[in-house]
Amino acid sequence: MIAAIQAALAEEMRRDPTVFLIGEDVRLGVFAGTRGLHAEFGDKRVIDTPISELAVAGTGVGAAATGLRPVVDLMFGTFLYLAFDQIANQAGAMRYMFGGQTKLPIVYMTQNGSGSSAGHHHSQSVHPFFMNMPLIKVVMPSTPYDAKGLLKAAIRDDNPVVFFNHLSLGGQRGEVPDEEYLIPLGKADIKREGADVTICAAGMMVHQSLKAAAALEADGISAEVIDLRTLKPWDEETVLASVAKTGRFIAVDESYPVCGGASEWAAVVAEKGFSDLKAAPRRISSKPVPIPFSPALEKAVIPSAEEIAAAARELMAVAAR
């Protein structure tokens, strides 16, 4: 996964001299995604900053508004809270608010999610906040292949994008071809085809959903797993087409249940795919508590493959209407 991120950044920086990387410890690369880039691109294009999330996020806004393509590394998703004004009020609105006088091609790159016993301040899934901002795009890959193609597309996108790597997927392995490719933002990927139930997820939850699907197969239940990849704009079409086929829907998201990702997906399926549903859509989210430190407790907070599989079995047991 880390090599895919490094390759995406390096390729885009080689291709376009207006692309630069700015943030705390980007030379050294704490999560290694930015490691090695300083050696190739130097001080001007790989800029270490003070720990000042708000000013660094705003530096991205001002640079983007004047012709550059910043990639702003904000390390942990929770640190985006410190940069909120610049992302929500400035990056998320300037183009519209100023009547289209500028565009804002910025990527805010960060680590999201739980599972590493990092405690609440380094373990949250903050993506719903940004899904709620009308002009921010939100990306969350689950595989190295997707991460590379999506990050390259995000850097080339003329709009602000928040790009969430998963804290616990840094070591994820997977095939990444040598030749260049892009993955368009807004397109989901069916990671596993199935006929009985649609499971919709992103990031780490794709892996939990695939595990659940494998377990369900042993029970004779065929689950389709959709990896949204982009959380805004999200691929309603692919999800609704799947629900039309399976008639059952489970939304799995690592954020909290109130106004979380799963709530959004389930709401749209209920609204637009109601006639296809054989049972009420289900949401599976993290338990609504701050993320606890102890591995035993943390594990209980995050949606698990067992929980997802259990929900699928329950849906299968609902008598057809």
For binding to other proteins (CB under 8 A), which residues are involved?
Answer: 20, 44, 47, 49-50, 52, 54-68, 70, 85-86, 89-90, 94-103, 134-135, 137, 157-159
Q: Closest distance between other proteins and the C-beta of residue 93, in Å?
A: 8
Q: Closest distance between other proteins and the C-beta of residue 86, in Å?
A: 6
Kindly tell me which of 89 and 294 has the beta carbon lying closer to other proteins: 89
Q: Closest distance between other proteins and the C-beta of residue 314, in Å?
A: 39
Kindly tell me which of 80 and 221 has the beta carbon lying closer to other proteins: 80
Kindly tell me which of 70 and 292 has the beta carbon lying closer to other proteins: 70
State the sign of the Cα–Cα–Cα–Cα dihedral 265, 199, 296, 118.
negative
The two tokens of residue 214 are 């494998």
The one catalytic residue among 38, 122, 127, 166: 122
CB within 8 A of 81, min separation 6: which ones?
Answer: 126
Q: Is 121 a catalytic residue?
A: no
Q: Closest distance between other proteins and the C-beta of residue 305, in Å?
A: 35
Q: Closest distance between other proteins and the C-beta of residue 136, in Å?
A: 10
Interatomic CA distance for residues 269 and 250, integer angstroms:
10
State the sign of the Cα–Cα–Cα–Cα dihedral 254, 131, 107, 184.
positive
Kindly tell me which of 34 and 143 has the beta carbon lying closer to other proteins: 34
Exposure on the CB side of residue 286, measured as CA atoms within 13 A: 27
Interatomic CA distance for residues 289 and 86, integer angstroms:
27
Kindly tell me which of 9 and 118 has the beta carbon lying closer to other proteins: 9
CB within 8 A of 29, min separation 6: which ones?
Answer: 35, 36, 37
Interatomic CA distance for residues 91 and 204, integer angstroms:
27
User: Which of 97, 26, 31, 30 shows the shortest CA–CA distance to 60?
Assistant: 26
CB within 8 A of 280, min separation 6: which ones?
Answer: 270, 318
Q: Where in the sequence numbering do the catalytic residues fall?
A: 122
